[in-house]
């Protein structure tokens, strides 16, 4: 890891990025020392229960926010997978980590370096073949992370979707960029799956940016919130409903009251 990359990593300050406190180099090895995880001790791949569609998309949004922050600083993560993303289940927050393979592009479009061990499934074709990393290769990995995270949710996976469970997926995930998605499906997973297909385009110049992906996820979350609000209103009505009571007839009967009497009105 060169000096410029180390300097940029130490300067990163984002709520969805695990802060790097120190970086040591000795015997041609680089060691990154991070600050306390602040409750983010569970890898995203180890979620053992269904967290709900909105929380799932919240995680996807936070991961994309972190990647966008890296790319805005011209840093490529180079090893993005769910095992390297930690969650605080109580707070519903995410921090991405494992920056030991990261590289600062320093004005370049690509960086050439060895692929991490056993990272083929998360790696773009240009990485597997030519060891060529870029922001686009991170985008490819991001879509793989999305499917990996979705597959932790049994309620989602048990529904019919074109992709198999993550452990059944091929090593070359770009093969799924050609998978057929029925256009009349408008559920949230189908929406993100269409985005993932674009991220797996073998031509890296045709993959969306982290900013474009973030905008799509945020729109999906707005659609989810709107649907829930409409569904709740349909089932339970609005919280405050104006109404008018109409009586068929009113009979007024005069009452004689002495001067010493008091009048109490009961409504």
Say if pTM beats, i.e. exceeds, 0.75: yes
- SS3 call for 162: coil
Could you tell me which of 89, 91, 60 has the C-alpha nearest to residue 218?
60
Extract the residue ranges of the chain whose pLDDT is less than 50: 233, 238-267
Quote the pLDDT of residue 55: 93
Burial 82-116 (b: 16+ CB within 10 A, else e): bbbbbbeeeeebbbbbbbbbbbbbeeeebbeeebb
Alpha carbon distance 169, 121 (integer Å): 9
Residue spans per domain, the chain? 39-234
pLDDT score of 131: 96
Number of Cβ atoms within 10 Å of the Cβ of 163: 19
Q: Do residues 103 and 78 make contact, with C-beta atoms less than 8 angstroms apart?
A: yes
CATH no., domain 39-234: 1.10.510.10
pLDDT tens-digit map of 132-183? 999 999 999 999 999 999 999 887 777 667 888 899 999 999 999 988 887 6
Q: Which of 116, 128, 110 is nearest to 205 (CA)?
A: 110
């Amino acid at each position: 890891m060169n000096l410029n990359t180390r300097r940029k990593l130490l300067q990163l300050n984002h709520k969805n990025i695990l802060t790097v406190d120190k970086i040591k180099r000795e015997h041609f090895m680089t060691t990154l020392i991070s600050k306390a995880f602040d409750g983010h001790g569970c890898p995203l791949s180890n979620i053992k229960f269904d967290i709900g569609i909105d929380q799932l998309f919240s995680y996807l949004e936070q991961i994309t926010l972190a990647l966008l922050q890296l790319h805005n600083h011209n840093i490529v993560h180079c090893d993005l997978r769910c095992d390297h993303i930690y969650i605080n289940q109580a707070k519903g927050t995410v921090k991405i980590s494992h920056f030991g393979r990261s590289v600062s592009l320093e004005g370049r479009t690509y960086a050439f370096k060895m692929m991490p061990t056993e990272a083929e499934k998360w790696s773009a074709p240009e990485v597997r073949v030519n060891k060529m990393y870029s922001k686009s290769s991170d985008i490819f990995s991001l879509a793989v992370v999305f499917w990996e995270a979705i597959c932790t949710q049994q309620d989602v996976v048990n529904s019919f979707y074109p992709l198999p469970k993550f452990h059944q997926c091929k090593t070359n995930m770009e093969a799924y960029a050609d998978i057929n998605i029925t256009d009349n499906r408008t559920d949230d997973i189908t929406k993100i799956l269409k985005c993932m297909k674009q991220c797996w385009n073998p031509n890296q110049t045709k993959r969306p940016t982290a900013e474009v992906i973030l905008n799509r996820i945020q729109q999906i979350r707005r659609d989810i919130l709107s649907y829930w609000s409409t569904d709740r209103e349909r089932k339970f009505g609005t919280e405050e409903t104006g109404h008018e009571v109409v009586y068929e007839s009113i009979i007024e009967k005069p009452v004689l009251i002495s001067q010493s009497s008091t009048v109490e009105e009961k409504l």
